[in-house]
Structure 1
C-alpha cells in the first residue's frame, strides 16, 4: 500500500516561460515588454512604444489590444488578419514628437514579413492621456513584394 505524504506537495504558480525577445525588436522578453501592454498592466508611454506594441499585437493577432489602442474616430469594427501573413521584424526609421511632453506624434517604420516589407508613417494622438493610433500613410515605394 502506498503512503501519502503528510504534507501535500506545493504546486508552483503557473508562470509562462518566454525566453525569446519581444517581436517588437527590443531586447526584453514579450512578457516584460509588449505583453504587459497587451494584458492592460501598463500603457505605452510614447508613440514609438505604442507603435512597437501594436506591431507585436499584429504578430500575436491580439485584436482587442489593437482596437483598444486605435483612435475612436478611425477605429474599424474589427481587424482582419491575413492568415498567411508571417511578420518577421520591425525597424523604426524615424520618430517625431510623441513623448510625455507631446499630444501628437509620428513614427515611420518598416515592418518585414515573409516575402516582403511594408513602410508606413503612422500618426498618433493622446486620448484621455493614453497614446492611440490615428492613421498612417503607406509608402508604396517602400513596399517590397516578390
Structure 2
C-alpha cells in the first residue's frame, strides 16, 4: 500500500435525514408575573323573580282611638271649640239656632306650629248656635 494522496474537494450537500424521536418533557418553569386587570364586562340580564317571602305577623288594629267631640256656643256671630292639649282637630261643624242667620266661615283653628287645635265658625246677623270639633290624640 502506498502513501495517502492529497485531500479532495468537498462533495455536494446530502439530503436532509428523517426527524429523530421526540425528546422527554422538560421541567415546569417558574410562576409568571400577575397580569393587569381586564375591563369591566357588560351588565348581565335581570334575574328571575324570587320566591314569595313568609307571611308577616298580624299588625295592630287600625282606626282612630280615643276620639271625642267637643262643643262650644256661637254667641254674637262667632264661636270656637278647642281640643285638649295632646289632641288635634280632625274635623268640625256647626248648628245655627232658629234660622237667625247662616255661617260664612267654618274652618280649623291652628296652633303656633300650624297643628289643627280646634274649629271656628262665624255667622251673619250675629246668629247664635253651637260649634263642634272632633279631637283625636296626636303624636
- Higher RCO, 1 vs 2 (CA within 8 Å, ≥6 residues apart): 2
| TM-score using structure 2 length | 0.23
Higher helix share: 1
Higher strand share: 2
| TM-score using structure 1 length | 0.22
Larger-gyration structure (1/2) = 2
